[in-house]
């Protein structure tokens, strides 16, 4: 099955029906390019796989929160998983219905909580007792009844990179079962809250069903215990975390995932909520750059490109793998082994290591694949590099959905105080 809509026709890379080189000629590089079709298809895969239970699929916008992407997904029925006031603002800008918004994160501020209550979001995913008390206070002030889901930490190893594992006992996320039990036992203390949901998210880029099954089993046992004490759970939010193909992974498909987990929930009355980010966004985008220099040392060949860790930090931060494809393929060209590196003054500014690929030359364009999730959203201005532009392709159309940052924007908000003059 087609994983995404970036492919060669002849020897030229296309996004859907558009020649990537045509976009690059017009918009320049570094450049993120997204496929509308791939985004929608991945949402649909989940919608289809779980059609029988009609879940609420809240796209986790931290993965890619460009307004055009959010609008695309919201129009196709997705809700949104938000983690900040900024993400709430984006959700509102695309008109996401409040009853399709869930709010997660360990450090919500009072102001963010109030704004979300005013907008009337569906659920707060609560991660600590002090947070619960703060939401109670905000709800009281606004005379609102607020739905809360407790994020429990099931103590499961998701078998993924340490930095993106969140369900282990020592992680900062969620509440252990004992604490959650106590909170439910004390629920009458929270007059303005309805403790009606459970949330569980154990980590990201999880490629097999087993960690999910283990976590959900534990969660269901907890829900059964609550039922005996008279607590009815109306929503079970099972988080995100579905793994994708970056290299040679063989992750479960949406259908396989559904077959594996749906039996667990048979006969249950609660509504399932999902928060997928990477599954929808990762393969839906690429990051295009241009070779500046090819540098040969005694031990390595470096392809120095105009894309850097400030544009895509995943390889530096997690040792993550992103495929590298030339926009113009030449199957007869000699092969070489390259480290693809950026111009930033850090030895960690590596985008790809030891890649066996066609010989590269200055001015060649390359695409870093599967960069649609946790790409642009994690970009910074390090080394005073303006952030990349973003383009959305649909069929034979494309449009810039975020302009390249200008040098002027780079210093916007900075001032030189008189006292240093």
Positions annotated as catalytic residues are: 345
Q: Are 357 and 336 in contact (CB under 8 A)?
A: yes
CA-based nearest residue to 103, from 119, 132, 126: 126
Q: Considering the complex, what minimum distance in angstroms separates the CB of residue 288 from ligand LLP? A: 19
Spatial distance between the Cα atoms of 223 and 197, rounded to a whole number of angstroms: 9
User: Apex CA 247: angle with CA 246 and CA 251, to 5°?
Assistant: 70
Residue 92 CB-half CA count within 13 A: 12
Q: Are 355 and 272 in contact (CB under 8 A)?
A: no
Q: How buried is residue 227: exposed, middle or buried, by Cβ count under 10 Å (0-12/13-18/19+)?
A: exposed
Categorise residue 384: left if φ over 0, alpha if ψ from -120 to 50, beta otherwise: left
Q: Which two tokens stand for residue 405?
A: 């940052």
Q: Considering the complex, what minimum distance in angstroms separates the CB of residue 374 from ligand LLP? A: 3
Nearer to ligand LLP, 60 or 192 (CB): 60
Q: Considering the complex, what minimum distance in angstroms separates the CB of residue 274 from ligand LLP? A: 9
Q: Considering the complex, what minimum distance in angstroms separates the CB of residue 140 from ligand LLP? A: 26
Nearer to ligand LLP, 162 or 363 (CB): 162
**In which order are the strands placed within the sheet that holds 6-9?**
6-9, 12-15, 18-19
CA-based nearest residue to 407, from 378, 375, 385: 385
| Interface ranges with ligand LLP (CB under 6 A) | 60, 63, 81, 104, 164, 201, 204-205, 239-242, 275-279, 314, 318, 374
Cβ neighbours for 409, distance < 8 A, ≥ 6 positions apart: 386
Q: Considering the complex, what minimum distance in angstroms separates the CB of residue 383 from ligand LLP? A: 21
User: Apex CA 131: angle with CA 125 and CA 135, to 5°?
Assistant: 80
Question: Which residues are paired to 291 by β-bridges?
Answer: 305
Q: Which two tokens stand for residue 153?
A: 């930490």
Nearer to ligand LLP, 45 or 201 (CB): 201
Nearer to ligand LLP, 270 or 302 (CB): 270
Nearer to ligand LLP, 41 or 81 (CB): 81
Nearer to ligand LLP, 190 or 257 (CB): 257
User: At 352, is the secondary structure helix, strand, or coil?
Assistant: strand
Q: Considering the complex, what minimum distance in angstroms separates the CB of residue 210 from ligand LLP? A: 16
Spatial distance between the Cα atoms of 183 and 283, rounded to a whole number of angstroms: 40
Q: Considering the complex, what minimum distance in angstroms separates the CB of residue 398 from ligand LLP? A: 25
Phi, psi of 161 (to 5 degrees): -60, 140
Cβ neighbours for 416, distance < 8 A, ≥ 6 positions apart: none
Nearer to ligand LLP, 357 or 371 (CB): 371
Sign of the dihedral defined by the CA atoms of residues 87, 369, 167, 170, in that order: negative
Spatial distance between the Cα atoms of 49 and 39, rounded to a whole number of angstroms: 16
């Amino acid at each position: 099955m087609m994983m995404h809509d970036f492919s060669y026709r002849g020897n030229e890379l296309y996004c859907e029906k558009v020649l990537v080189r045509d976009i690059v000629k017009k918009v320049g590089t570094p450049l993120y390019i997204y496929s509308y079709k791939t985004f929608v298809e991945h949402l649909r895969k989940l919608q289809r796989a779980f059609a029988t239970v009609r879940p609420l699929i809240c796209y986790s916008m931290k993965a890619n929160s460009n307004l055009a992407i959010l609008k695309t997904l919201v129009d196709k029925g997705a809700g949104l998983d938000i983690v900040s006031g900024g993400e709430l603002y984006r959700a509102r800008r695309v008109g996401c219905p409040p009853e399709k918004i869930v709010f997660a994160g360990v450090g919500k501020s009072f102001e963010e909580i109030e704004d979300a209550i005013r907008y009337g979001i569906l659920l707060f995913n609560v991660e600590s007792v002090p947070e619960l008390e703060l939401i109670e206070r905000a709800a009281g002030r606004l005379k609102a009844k607020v739905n809360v889901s407790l994020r429990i930490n099931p103590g499961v190893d998701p078998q993924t990179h340490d930095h993106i594992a969140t369900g282990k006992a020592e992680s900062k996320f969620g509440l252990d079962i004992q604490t959650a039990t106590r909170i439910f036992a004390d629920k009458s203390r929270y007059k303005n809250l309805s403790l009606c949901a459970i949330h569980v998210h154990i980590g990201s880029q999880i490629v097999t069903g087993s960690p999910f099954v283990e976590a959900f089993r534990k969660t269901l046992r907890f829900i059964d215990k609550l039922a005996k004490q008279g607590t009815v759970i109306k929503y079970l939010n099972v988080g995100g975390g579905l793994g994708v193909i970056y290299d040679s992974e063989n992750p479960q498909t949406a259908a396989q995932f559904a077959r594996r987990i749906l039996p667990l929930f048979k006969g249950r009355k609660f509504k399932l909520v999902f928060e997928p980010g990477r599954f929808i966004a990762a393969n839906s985008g690429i990051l295009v750059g241009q070779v500046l220099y090819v540098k040969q040392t005694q031990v390595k060949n470096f392809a120095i490109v105009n894309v850097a860790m400030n544009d895509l930090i995943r390889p530096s931060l997690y040792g993550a793998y992103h495929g590298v494809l030339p926009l113009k393929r030449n199957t007869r060209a000699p092969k070489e082994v390259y480290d693809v590196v950026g111009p930033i003054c850090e030895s960690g500014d590596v985008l790809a290591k030891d890649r066996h690929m066609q010989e590269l030359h200055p001015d060649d364009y390359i695409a870093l694949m599967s960069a649609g999730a946790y790409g642009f959203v994690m970009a910074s201005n390090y080394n005073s590099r303006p952030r990349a532009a973003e383009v959305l392709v649909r069929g034979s159309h494309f449009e810039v959905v975020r302009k390249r940052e200008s040098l002027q924007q780079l210093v916007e908000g900075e001032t030189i105080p008189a006292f240093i003059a």
